[in-house]
Structures are given as C-alpha cells and as structure tokens.
Structure 1
Amino acid sequence: MIRAYAAHEPGGKLEPFEYEPGSLGDEEVDIKVEYCGICHSDLSMLKNDWGMTQYPFVPGHEVVGVVEAVGSKVKNLQIGQKVGLGWYSRSCMTCEFCMSGNHNLCQDAEGTIVGRYGGFAEKVRAHQGWVIPLPEGVNPVTAGPLFCGGITVFNPIVQFNIKPTDQVGVIGIGGLGHMALGFLRAWGCEITAFSTSPDKEAEAKALGATHFVNSRDPEALKALTNSFDVILSTVNADLDWPTYIKLLRPQGRLHLVGVIPNPLSVPIFPMILGQKSVSASPLGSPTTIAQMLNFAGRHHLEPIVEFFPLEQVNEALERLQSNKARYRIILKMDH
C-alpha cells in the first residue's frame, strides 16, 4: 500500500489516504518521494476548475526522489538514482509528436495528477521516459518546482530561439516569473520585469531583471512602445493585451504560459503591420527538461522556496491560495 494525502470532493481538505498501486509495468518506475512542490495547477485540479479531476484526488507533480523499483525493460534508470517527475507521467512514444521529440504535445499524454494519483505521497509511479535524472549541480532539495514552473518558462526560450541580444519582458514576478528572470539573465538577455507590485522592484532586479516597470502606470508602459522582441506573460489574470502588443517590436511575440480566465482579445491591424504574433506553450519534452536541468546546474539557478512537512499540506495549500508564497512551496516527506 502507498500512503498519500487525498481530497474526496472539489476543494476538499486533503486527508490521509492509502491505495494499492498494482504490479509494476515493464517500462515503469517507482519513485520514493523525498520532496514535492505545490503548484497552482494542483489547486486548480483540487477544485476541479478544469472539469477533469477524479476523486479521491492526490495532487503533486513536482516530484524529486529516489528510484526505488524499475520494470524489467527499464534501461536508462537504476535503483537509488536521484530523479524528478513533472506534469506528465507518460506519453504514447509512437505518435508523430513523440517520435519527433515533442512528447509534451502527445495527444495521449498522461498527466501525473490526471486520472491517477500524484506525488503528495510516499511513492509515485511513472513511465521511464518522463523520469528525469538530476544532474550534478542541481540541488535536489529545491529542484521540484523546476519540473513544472521551471520548464514552463524555459521551454519558450528554446522553442522560439530567444537570443542573448533580445529585449525580453516578463509579466508577473511570482512562482513562474521569478524563475524566468533567472533563466533569461543567465541566457544573456536584457530583461524588463512588469509587476503590479512596485515594492517588488529591488527583488526583481536581484533575481535578474535589468529594468522594472509598474504595470499599473500607463505612462511607463507607453514609453516602452516598440521595445521588445519577446514578452513572456506568466500571470493568470486578464490584462490590457493591446497595450502589450504595442510594446513589441516588428516580428515580436507575446507568449503566454499563464492560464488567463477569459479569451484573448487583440487588435489584428498592428499585428499585421508589424508581423507580430501571440502564442502559448505547455511545459516541455523530457529532452528539454534535461537541458533545463543541466543549464540550471551550470549556472547555479534554483527556485526560491518555502518548506512545509507533508502533514501540514492543507496549511501549505492555503498559503498558496492566499498568494503569500515566496515564491514556491515544497512539501518535505517524513520518511
């Protein structure tokens, strides 16, 4: 039996829960969970905001732990190896997207907390393809959020070939945004942080921002017209998107990784004139995750985190819900 924490109804408290995982598949891996980050996606799934949660629901998809058991056909991982697991726990490995290295676009990909039990538990199971070894230089204690929030902001850097000479804006200095600042500074970009909290300026610059703008100041925004090659939005809120389109240079891109509540509305004429684009992306492939981890280790990048013991998971979720987390929360297992 695997001991975990589960909710039995939308928005319900997490309570101790046990389940029988069944026999280990040939290509599956059991991970003994040591640390598991808490993500806003865990909250959204807990409340069934996306209409796909199954109860009992065990959250947790920012797992770091040790390989405890491997299936008979697992060749790339060994028992005792330090590994991580993110949003996806499996993909089909045969479709055109998996075969071209874009496993995160697989239409049959399995979410670690979608229709199965996640990492707020003593163990979690996944397909070998999505269990990623931690390289030298990556701190396992703080690495969990890299497997969701980190890859979410790193993936666009690779996908869109962001260059060190690019002018990049980052909207939102929270769980995702603070990691984006670190990656982009190490990448060599000039970065402008946009935030509704003027008191975050010093912290944003310490995290990697070259410049800071209060996004509630219309004159400050107007002064940046035609300035950016890429603007990365990490927020889950509706903003004045036409204004940000104006801030893009010709061929500039507004890229969203935050799940905004309402449909996007942007004027098409300035986009046509400037050949500008709006895009979005999900996490990243196993290869891109491994690249991110190597990059993070080489540049000594790690998320800023707070810790809670697993038995205080409800208090930790409440802290995240009330936007008090600075900047990510990690659960420590008690075994």
Structure 2
Amino acid sequence: MSNNIIHAYAALQPAQELVPYTFDAGELLPHEVEIQVEYCGLCHSDLSIIQNDWQVSQYPVIPGHEVIGRISRIGAGAQGLHIGQRVGLGWTAETCEHCASCLQGERIFCSDLVPTIVGHAGGFADKVRASWQWVIPLLEQLDPITAGPLLCGGVTVFHPLMQHKIQAVHKVGVIGIGGLGHIAIKLLKAWGCEITAFSSNLAKKHDLLKMGAHNVLQSDDYQAMKSYYSQFDLILSTVNVGLQWNEYLKLLSPRGAFHFVGAVLTPAQIDPSILMARSIQLTGSDTGTPATLKQLLAFAERFQIRPQVEVFPMSQVNQAIAHLKSGKTRYRIVLKADF
C-alpha cells in the first residue's frame, strides 16, 4: 500500500455525521512534514467548520487541528525536525513565507494562510501533513494526552496576555468557562493574576475555584456586576453568543482592554462613549505564531499546566461531537487515534 494513503473521518456535506474516509494525499512536498497522529483535540471550531457556520468550509471536511503525534516523514526542505520526534500542529498548516506579514514574523496575518481544516486534511486521521514551520516540537515532559488543546485553545487565550502585557498585579476577567476559558484560568493562575470567571453555569463554580478563579459570577447577572465596576485590567471573552457587552465594558479600569477570542456570530452593540471615557481598548485575535506556540508550550511545561480533558477513541468521533454539543464536556475533548 502506498505511503501516501491516509485514513480519516470526514463530513461529506454540511452538518453530517463523520464517516470513514480514505484518500491519496499525493507525494510529500519538500516543505511538508507528515505526522503519525496519536491524539487530536475536538474544538468548537471543528463544529463550526463541519456545519459551515463561517461559510468557508470545503467538503469533504476532515476536522482536527489540535494534533499530537510523531514525525513519520520529512520533506527535503524541512528544517530542524527529525523522524520520530513528538510534535504538535494547531490551527494553521501552511503560510506563504514571502509576504510582508510572514517576513515580519507575523505569519497569522498571511493572506495565503491555509488552516489545517479548511481546504486541507486535518487531524481526525491516522496521518496529517503540514508545512514544517508550523510543526511545533514538544518537550517530552509534556503530557501528550492533554497537550493538544494548548495548540489552538491554549494559544488563543495565551496570545492576549502577551499582547496586553499582563502581569501578576493585574485583575483579569474571563467570560465563558469551556474549552478556552478553563485554560485561560489555568494560565492566569500561573501568571499570578486575580481572576474572575463569568459563567452561564454556576454548577461549575467549585471546579473554577479549584482551577484558580478568585471570584465566579453569573455571566448575565448584570446587577451583581455593578460592584465590580472599573476594576479589571483585561476582560477576555471566549463565548460565541451575544451578551450585553456595554455592561462588561463598565467593569474595565482606565486604559483597560476588552479582548474577543470567541467568534460571536452576531454584531456587537458597543457604546463608544464608554470606550472614550476611560480610554478603553477593544481588541481581538484568533491563534498565534509558531514563536508564540513555542513560548506557550515552554510556559505550560514549566508550570505543569494541563487542560482538563475527556478522552474518546477516534472511532467514536460522532459520540464525542454529540457530547460536545450537549454542553456537558469538562472541559475539552481529546480523541485517541485507534485506526
């Protein structure tokens, strides 16, 4: 059998269950690395692509962009990697390497960026390929079962902390304590910040306090929020639903920042006068560069930061997706390859 045959799980049409799917990936290109998949996280972004929520999906869709595995083949032009090395792959599989953004080290703004699961075969498979620049070496001390979610969910919430120069003296709020939000709490605890979690489900309160949150508030209890006005240096929103954003802006201290990392599908209604009165920053970001990914993994190894995961065999991917949709996941799903 050809080395180029890949076995995967794919959605053939929008919102369909995934089915076994085999394809010939062609010859390995000089800049590519092939990874034998061990584990792959299941992210809400995978659901969005399966369902074509963002109108960018290309079918068949092979989801999976929080990949952990070992290098099985290396293209002739790949640098700094070796066969058998444990590596990770996140949201991005390839960038052009010659545009202004790439040359400035800001590859996430590359106009030719190829997401791992859009027009590209993702990690719900026995093997996955990517450009070598985006294949991130893992320290052997990192737990391979829990490391995958750091490569997308983790870097998504890590990047704003770097962007806004967050320090231990700062007070940070996190809206939405799911896959992204719970990693944010773990990172902020290691950072030394005072943390307030905003959750729609106060049944999680015990978990959140144990993770490191100092305060837990109902995310739509705007009356209770009034006692927190002008206190936060940063509020990080991980949710994909609309809230009364102006009530959250009132929680920020002068020159504080409100940062979106959750892709809300409805336009946000913002009162500019609130921004003006305190010189508040309104920002957003998605993932991070290879350099930021490496910084995050080093930080996670140093402080033993491990996302809280539930593990399913990859052959039970549809059951895992149903569990994620149920809202009962605590707090991230990881699929173990069992081809």
Q: Which residue of 2 aligns with 1:89?
A: 93
Would you say 1:203 and 2:207 are equivalent positions?
yes
Give, as a single letter, the amino acid of the residue that structure 1 aligns with 2:337: M
Secondary structure of the residue that 2:179 maps to in structure 1?
Answer: coil
For residues 222 and 110 of structure 2, the distance between their equivalents in structure 1, rounded to whole angstroms, comes to 41
Q: Which residue of 2 aligns with 1:24?
A: 28
Would you say 1:258 and 2:258 are equivalent positions?
no
For residues 52 and 41 of structure 2, the distance between their equivalents in structure 1, rounded to whole angstroms, comes to 19
Contact 1:229–1:252 under 8 Å retained in 2:
yes
- Please list, as runs of the form range in 1=range in 2, the aligned pairs for 1:204-283 lying within 5 A after superposition: 204-283=208-287
Would you say 1:177 and 2:181 are equivalent positions?
yes
Moved more, 165-174 or 192-201: 192-201
Contact 2:194–2:213 under 8 Å retained in 1:
yes
For residues 288 and 253 of structure 1, the distance between their equivalents in structure 2, rounded to whole angstroms, comes to 20
Offset, 1:48? 0.9
Offset, 1:107? 1.5
Offset, 1:92? 1.0
For residues 237 and 133 of structure 2, the distance between their equivalents in structure 1, rounded to whole angstroms, comes to 29
1:151 to 134, 155, 170: 155
Contact 2:39–2:148 under 8 Å retained in 1:
yes
1:190 to 189, 194, 206: 194
For residues 281 and 130 of structure 2, the distance between their equivalents in structure 1, rounded to whole angstroms, comes to 36
Would you say 1:99 and 2:113 are equivalent positions?
no
2:68 to 64, 71, 74: 64
For residues 103 and 194 of structure 1, the distance between their equivalents in structure 2, rounded to whole angstroms, comes to 32
Contact 1:137–1:300 under 8 Å retained in 2:
no
After superposing on structure 2, the runs of 4+ consecutive aligned residues of structure 1 that deviate more than 6 Å are none
Equivalenced residue count is 335
Offset, 1:36? 0.6
For residues 221 and 7 of structure 2, the distance between their equivalents in structure 1, rounded to whole angstroms, comes to 50
Q: Which residue of 2 aligns with 1:312?
A: 316
Offset, 1:11? 0.8
Give, as a single letter, the amino acid of the residue that structure 2 aligns with 1:317: I
Q: Which residue of 2 aligns with 1:79?
A: 83
Contact 1:234–1:257 under 8 Å retained in 2:
yes
Secondary structure of the residue that 1:157 maps to in structure 2?
Answer: helix
Contact 2:133–2:290 under 8 Å retained in 1:
yes
Secondary structure of the residue that 1:319 maps to in structure 2?
Answer: helix
Secondary structure of the residue that 2:9 maps to in structure 1?
Answer: strand
For residues 166 and 134 of structure 2, the distance between their equivalents in structure 1, rounded to whole angstroms, comes to 25
Secondary structure of the residue that 1:143 maps to in structure 2?
Answer: helix
Q: Deviations over 1:11-58 (max 9, x none)?
A: 111111111011111111000000011011111110111111111111
Give, as a single letter, the amino acid of the residue that structure 1 aligns with 2:50: L
Q: Which residue of 2 aligns with 1:298?
A: 302
Secondary structure of the residue that 1:176 maps to in structure 2?
Answer: helix
For residues 130 and 297 of structure 2, the distance between their equivalents in structure 1, rounded to whole angstroms, comes to 19
- Structure 2, unaligned runs of 5 or more: none
Offset, 1:266? 1.0
Secondary structure of the residue that 1:34 maps to in structure 2?
Answer: strand
State TM-score, norm by structure 1: 0.98
Offset, 1:112? 0.4
For residues 99 and 282 of structure 1, the distance between their equivalents in structure 2, rounded to whole angstroms, comes to 20
Offset, 1:166? 0.8
Moved more, 204-213 or 238-247: 204-213
Contact 2:36–2:70 under 8 Å retained in 1:
yes
Identity between Structure 1 and Structure 2 (%): 49
Moved more, 178-187 or 132-141: 132-141
Offset, 1:217? 2.6
Give, as a single letter, the amino acid of the residue that structure 1 aligns with 2:77: K
- Please list, as runs of the form range in 1=range in 2, the aligned pairs for 1:120-159 lying within 5 A after superposition: 120-159=124-163
Offset, 1:219? 2.7
Give, as a single letter, the amino acid of the residue that structure 1 aligns with 2:232: F
For residues 108 and 75 of structure 1, the distance between their equivalents in structure 2, rounded to whole angstroms, comes to 21
